[in-house]
Chain A
Amino acid sequence: MAIVFKKRPGLVAYITCGDPSLDISREVALAAIRAGADVIELGVPFSDPVADGPVIQRASERALQHGTNLNGVLEVAKQIRQQSNTGLVIFSYLNPILQFGLEKFCAAAAEAGVDGSLVTDLPVEEAGEYLRAMKAHKLAPVFLAAPTSPEKRLREVAKHSRGFVYAISRTGITGTRQELAGDARSLVERLRLHTKLPIAVGFGVSTPEQFAEVGSFADAAVVGSAIVQRIEENLGREAAAVSEFLSSLTGTAQEAVGRS
Chain B
Amino acid sequence: MEETTSNGQSSTAGSPPGNQAKQPRVRAVPGRFGSYGGRYVPETLMAALQELEAAYAAARKDKAFRDEYHRLLTDFAGRPTPLFHAERLTQELGGAKIYLKREDLLHTGAHKINNCIGQALLARRMGKHRVIAETGAGQHGVATATVCALFGMECVVYMGTEDMRRQELNVFRMKLLGAEVRGVDSGSRTLKDAINEAMRDWVTNVRTTHYLLGSVLGAHPYPTMVRDFHRVTGQEARKQILKAEGRLPSAVIACVGGGSNAIGVFYEFIKDREVKLIGVEAGGRGHSLGEHAARFDGGGPGVLQGTYSYVLQDLGGQIALTHSVSAGLDYPAIGPEHAWLHDQGRAEYVSASDQEALDACLKLARMEGIIPALESAHAIAECIKRAPQMDKSDIVIVNVSGRGDKDIGILRENLAF
Residues in A lying within 8 Å of B, measured CB to CB: 46-51, 53, 57, 61, 64, 69-70, 93-100, 120-123, 125-126, 143-150, 153, 157, 168, 171-173
Contacts and interface: CB of A to CB of B under 8 A. Distances in A.
B203 A121 contact: no
B207 A47 contact: no
Interface stretch (B1-9, B37-45, B408-416): B37-45
B203 A99 contact: no
Interface stretch (B228-236, B304-312, B342-350): B304-312
In this complex, the member of B38, B200, B301, B316 whose beta carbon has the largest number of chain A beta carbons within 10 angstroms is B316
A222 to B, nearest CB: 14
Contact of B46 (A48, A64, A123): A123
Contacts of A120: 42
A25 B386 CA distance: 55
B28 interface: no
B313 A95 contact: yes
A96 B301 CA distance: 12
Contacts of B39: 123, 125-126
A93 B302 CA distance: 11
A172 B48 contact: no
B91 interface: no
A118 B45 CA distance: 17
Given A51-B203, A95-B319, A96-B316, A168 B196 contact: no
Contact of A47 (B44, B187, B203, B315): B187
Interface in B1-53: 38-48
Contacts of A153: 43, 46-47
B236 to A, nearest CB: 36
Interface of B: 38-48, 186-187, 192, 196, 199-200, 203-207, 301-306, 311, 313, 315-319
A26 B26 CA distance: 47
Contact of A99 (B187, B306, B315): B315
Nearest to A69: B316
Contact of B207 (A48, A148, A173): A148
Given A48-B304, A51-B203, A98 B317 contact: yes
Given A50-B196, A146-B46, A168-B44, 14 more contacts: A46-B317, A48-B196, A50-B41, A50-B199, A57-B186, A93-B303, A94-B303, A98-B302, A121-B303, A123-B40, A123-B41, A144-B42, A145-B43, A172-B203
